[in-house]
Amino acid sequence: MTISIDRATGERQGSTIFQSLGITLMRLAYRVLTPFGHLGISRVNRLVGRVLMGSGDTLFHLDQDTAFSTPSADYYWSRLYSESYE
């Protein structure tokens, strides 16, 4: 199952309740860890990814012409779930 996220609008499609919870937790962790230079964000994302995200892919629409697909539980690229990540 593929989750689709538009980074410009934040619109999300195709996620289960558990995946939505996982995305919310990763976004919250990104905000909380911002003052600390995001120290530990990959560990948080790895744990949330293993427990809640499953084995599907996420397609991030970066702009009108660009999309990027990655495994939903990938701890490195999961920072793209945060709307404030650039």
Mean pLDDT for the stretch of residues 56-76:
92
Residue 86 lies in a domain: no
For residues 10 and 8, what is the distance between their CA atoms, to the nearest angstrom? 6
- Secondary structure of the chain as H, E, C letters: CEEEEECCCCCEECCCHHHHHHHHHHHHHHHHHHHHCCCCHHHHHHHHHHHHHCCCEEEEECCCCCEEEEECCCCCHHHHHCCCCC
Q: What's the whole-number average pLDDT of the chain?
A: 91
pTM exceeding 0.85: yes
pLDDT band at 55 (very low <50, low <70, confident <90, very high): confident
- For residue 1, pLDDT over 80 is answered with no
Provide mean pLDDT across the span 69-85. Answer: 88
Q: For residue 23, give its domain range.
A: 2-80
Mean pLDDT of 11-20: 94
Distance CA 71, CA 46 (A): 12
Split into its structural domains, the chain has a count of 1
One-letter identity of residue 3: I
Q: Confirm whether 85 is domain-assigned.
A: no
Residue 25 lies in a domain: yes
